[in-house]
Chains A and B, each alone.
Chain A
Amino acid sequence: MNNRLINWFRYASPQTFYPLAGKMIPWFWALTAVFGIAGLYIGFFAAPTDAQQGEGYRIIFIHVPASWMSMFIYLVMAFWAALGLGFNTRLSGMMASALAPTGALMAFLSLWTGALWGKPMWGTWWVWDARLTSELILFFLYLGFIALQSAIDEPRRADKAGAVLALVGVINIPIIYFSVKWWNTLHQGASVSLTRSPSMAQAMLWGMLLMALAFWMYSIAVALARVRAIILERERHAGWVEELREVRQ
């Protein structure tokens, strides 16, 4: 094994990752505040009114970042799940279970803000079209993952069972993303995609991207804080945990 690989694996142990995560958290909170304030300012004051939807479209600054995040967190969760199954590392399972509640929150926010947006614009809170239904399935996948993990007492077995569920559910992510392309849906197509230029006014786009960054930073900060709590809980009998300043007090 070369040196670089060893360096990476060093942080795969809970003992070295715990203080590293603790050092990173304040930075991610600070970035959340910076991006969030800038994004909200642009969203509320700088972005122009939409020609079709008036002021009501401004919920996009929460709805789209939350929806992106709900899908992306699931991919990251599945990535950790696969690493945990493959390498048998303890930290991977902890990362996956630390991400799940935030992912569930994002999926819920996406559905909730979507309903609030759908009522005035489409004329309905909810329809069973492919985009909305697949996002609801994503929300249930998160809840199922959390429930499955809490139902199994032994953490290592809970990690394995959760990892299999997370990997099976990953098939839903491309379905959500491409649902508006593959089928007729009430939900409109993507305004921002990698293959063509965005169909939004500049200021609106900036507000949305900044809010998306704020959601990223928030999710990282919260997941790191949660993984620290999980490490403490699972390793509470380890010598290094008992020597921690915050534990001895």
Chain B
Amino acid sequence: MKPRHKRFAIIGGGLAALGIAAALVLNAFQSNLVFFFTPTQVAAGEAPQGKTFRIGGLVKEGSMKRQSDGLTVRFIVTDTAKEMSVAYTGILPDLFREGKGVVAQGKLGPDGLFAASEVLAKHDENYMPPEAQHAVEQAHKTAKSVKQ
């Protein structure tokens, strides 16, 4: 083996060892790297108790209700399997919409109401002009009515 082959072998071996180490570390920290919990995970008791954490999911269609003080909103976050009620006082981001993604940070009360201190909108990776989105929505509606 020439010296330069040896050096490349050391580099290759070193990178492989690093890769395995990184994979093991990331795997061990898996639960700490989660940015938010889904309502299903919360229902299963995976979310930290009595501490601030984030929940994420979709804002359920027709669930958003503004309270009489004009600033507090209540809505339901769903991952289509489980649901959670959220209360939030403050300004919502522009992209906060029913049926769209949301991430809320706060605490879970004993009554099951999630009191959010921060609400962030999570948008998807689809970019299309309004006409195209309209067409997609129409297609979904037709597909639904066909099923029924």
Contacts and interface: CB of A to CB of B under 8 A. Distances in A.
Interface of A: 48-53, 57, 60, 82, 85-88, 120-124, 127-130, 167-168, 170-171, 175, 182-186, 188-191, 199-201, 204
A123 B102 CA distance: 11
Interface string B117-148: 01111111111111011100000000000000
Contacts of B123: 52-53, 121-122, 188
Given A86-B7, A88-B4, A120-B94, A51 B122 contact: no
A168 B11 CA distance: 10
B34 A122 contact: no
Interface residues of B, number: 41
Contact of B11 (A50, A85, A129, A201): A85
Nearest to B37: A184
Nearest to B11: A82
Given A188-B122, A191-B126, A51 B133 contact: yes
Contacts of B70: none
Contact of B122 (A86, A122, A171, A204): A122
B112 interface: no
Contacts of A191: 125-127
Contacts of B108: none
Nearest to B94: A120
Contacts of A175: 22, 26
A52, A60, A128, A182 — which one has the most chain B CB atoms within 10 A of its CB? A52
Contacts of B26: 175, 182
Contacts of A185: 35
Contact of A201 (B120, B122, B128): B128
Given A121-B94, A183-B34, A189-B124, 14 more contacts: A49-B129, A49-B130, A82-B8, A85-B7, A86-B11, A121-B121, A122-B120, A123-B120, A124-B120, A167-B11, A183-B35, A188-B124, A189-B125, A191-B126
B119 A123 contact: yes
B95 A201 contact: no
21 contacts: A48-B128, A49-B130, A51-B133, A51-B134, A52-B95, A82-B8, A85-B7, A120-B93, A121-B95, A122-B122, A123-B93, A128-B35, A167-B11, A175-B26, A182-B33, A183-B30, A186-B122, A188-B125, A200-B127, A201-B127, A204-B127
Contacts of B48: none
Contact of B127 (A50, A87, A122): A50
A174 to B, nearest CB: 9
Nearest to A123: B93
B8 A171 contact: no
* A-B pairs with lowest CB-CB distance, top 8: A123-B93, A48-B129, A51-B133, A129-B35, A191-B125, A86-B8, A188-B125, A51-B130
B85 to A, nearest CB: 20
Contact of B35 (A124, A130, A201): A130
Given A49-B130, A184-B56, A122 B35 contact: no
B145 to A, nearest CB: 22
A170 B95 contact: no
Contacts of B126: 191, 199-200
Nearest to A82: B11
A221 to B, nearest CB: 29
Contacts of B125: 188-191, 199
B129 A50 contact: yes
B113 interface: no
